[in-house]
Amino acid sequence: MKTPRQTRLAQTLPASVPFVGPETQERKRGKVFAARLGANESVFGPSPRAINAMQKAAHDVWMYGDPESYDLTHALAKKHDVAPENILVGEGIDGILGYTVRLFLEPGDTVVTSAGAYPTLNYHVAGFGGNIVTVPFTGDHEDPKALVAKAHEVGAKIVYLANPDNPMGTWHYGPMIDDMIAALPKGCLLILDEAYIEFAPQHTAPDLDVTNPQVLRMRTFSKAYGMAGARVGYAIGHAENIQAFNKIRNHFGMSRISQAGALEALADTTYLAETLEKVAHAREHLYQIAQDNGLTALPSATNFVTMDCGRDGAFAKRVLAELLARDIFVRMPFVAPQDRCIRISAASEADLALFARALPEALQAASR
């Protein structure tokens, strides 16, 4: 019996995923983590209204979800004061990134991103035969000017920028992003990943301009709305680009339960405000933990705090391993010099207390 042959491109790709999930690590360890602080999820969870809506929707799960996500699309359009034709709902930002690459990238086309930026885009680009070109971070920030300059140099089809950034938690204000947009090469698409925008200071996001076909902005219900497991994201963009996704997207990709939950989460602005306050408090607690241990915490506009361990990536990796050995799940940036850091999600007081107890032990053990 002959095994069906993969495409030539698929044969060149590693059988890997961008992230090793905590569940995978728990299975290998044979026990669960005491504190899950590495995936930037919201331990504060979704709105009770969203939970109730999802429970009700479960009774109707025998039906497919609305392939147009009509109610959610219109609610998002109203929130952002744009037309429904400017909104695409999809399976988290990760899913929409895959659709975007499929829609706009030919094999051999170039994508410019930052070295060490959110890696899922790179995963999709490789899967569709594109080329990744990177520029370094500058002062622990992604560098919009360098990204645009490199895009001009290599004739990039797509440029990717996360603002606020993952994994560092840093950010740029709207005017700098506006300057970046104005300087894009002709025909080049900017993917502006705003997954953490709800946590950011005022004026971080530039004004929405859905008349510009060179910008596609992406947002999610996974972070501030506490629905990472529901896989709900959306893109905001020029109507012609948004409608083009209908050519290639999975029309039944959004579950009925997820649509119902996201709709109620969006409406519950009181709960969102409470969550943002809890995250801000947790960030302050993490800043203090870093200071207590002689580490430098980077100012964060996200639901996590990145701590500079003060040495190199090898040391930070040992710190990470020692935390894992103490049942604390955290992550670290992949690329130097950002890999000198570890990254800890905002969490409950109980979880942060566990981290605060484990960190000095981990630092001491890593220093031996």
Q: What are the tens digits of pLDDT across the range 53-102? A: 999 999 999 999 999 999 999 999 999 999 999 999 999 999 999 999 99
- How far is 118 from 334, CA to CA, in rounded Å? 10
Mean pLDDT of 255-284: 98
Is there a contact between 341 and 319 (Cβ–Cβ < 8 Å)? no
Q: How confident is the model at residue 2 (pLDDT cuts 50, 70, 90)?
A: confident
Give, for 305, the enclosing helix (H) or strand (E). strand 304-308
What CATH architecture does domain 48-267 belong to?
Answer: 3-Layer(aba) Sandwich (3.40)
CATH class of residue range 20-45+270-366 = alpha beta
Query: With 70 as the cut, is the pLDDT of residue 356 above it?
Result: yes
Residue with tokens 């950010």: 171
Query: With 80 as the cut, is the pLDDT of residue 331 above it?
Result: yes
pTM above 0.75, yes or no: yes
124, two tokens: 């999709």
- How far is 306 from 344, CA to CA, in rounded Å? 6
Task: Report long-range pairs for 101-108 (Cβ below 8 Å, ≥24 apart).
Answer: 101/125, 101/127, 101/128, 101/130, 101/158, 102/128, 102/248, 103/244, 103/245, 103/247, 103/248, 104/157, 104/158, 104/189, 105/129, 105/130, 105/157, 105/158, 106/130, 106/157, 107/9
Give, for 134, the enclosing helix (H) or strand (E). strand 131-135
Query: With 70 as the cut, is the pLDDT of residue 1 above it?
Result: no
Domain ranges of the chain: 20-45+270-366, 48-267
The confidence score (pLDDT) of residue 306 equals 98
Distances in Å between the Cα of 135 and the Cα atoms of 113, 115, 119, 145, 149 are 7, 6, 14, 10, 10
Residue type, 167: P
The confidence score (pLDDT) of residue 85 equals 98
- How far is 334 from 190, CA to CA, in rounded Å? 23
Give the tens place of pLDDT for each residue, 124-152. Answer: 999 999 999 999 999 999 999 999 999 99
Query: With 70 as the cut, is the pLDDT of residue 113 above it?
Result: yes
Q: How confident is the model at residue 3 (pLDDT cuts 50, 70, 90)?
A: confident
Average pLDDT for the chain: 97
Mean pLDDT of 282-293: 98
